[in-house]
Amino acid sequence: MTGYMVVISILGYMAFYLSIQMAQADRVIHEMNPASMTAEEINVVKERLSMTVNRLSSEARWIALLGALFCLIGLIYTYNLVVRPLRKLVVFAETGQGELPEIKNNNEIKQLMTAIVGPPNPPHENQNPRNS
């Protein structure tokens, strides 16, 4: 869960950075006065704004690709952690056959499995601990 928070924070920061850059480009466009500029100055401003827009659109594409990659990783993680064990548990609960999923941590799926099947029996090494 902490990893998701870090990823969301990084993507949020990158989007914030892009919005600042776009605001600066917008400010330049609205504050320039073409009547007081020469044709050469207008061409320089136009060229620099075009470079800025191209760079920002490239960065926006990278953010979108990175976000899609993280969503795909999250999808695979969720499928393996939640969907697959729940399917096995549903098949076992409906038919009484099949193997139960092995769940190592005590999450909601393990609690549901314990409610359906019952608590697992721990192996007994010593039947009577007082006979040591």
Give residue 64's identity as a one-letter amino acid code. A
Residue 56 belongs to some domain of the structure: yes
Residue 131 belongs to some domain of the structure: no
Question: Collapsing DSSP states into helix, strand and coil, what is residue 126?
Answer: coil
Residue 67 belongs to some domain of the structure: yes
- Could you tell me the pTM of the whole model? 0.56
Domain region containing 81: 2-119
Residue 125 belongs to some domain of the structure: no
Question: What averages of pLDDT result for each successive group of 10 residues across the chain (132 residues)?
Answer: 71 82 82 85 86 85 84 84 83 80 75 76 55 50
Residue 89 belongs to some domain of the structure: yes
Residue 49 belongs to some domain of the structure: yes
Residue 127 belongs to some domain of the structure: no
Residue 68 belongs to some domain of the structure: yes
Q: What is the DSSP string of 64-122?
A: HHHHHHHHHHHHHHHIIIIIHHHHHHHHHHHHS-SPPP---S--HHHHHHHHHH-PPPP
Structure tokens at 64: 């979108």
How many domains, the chain?
A: 1
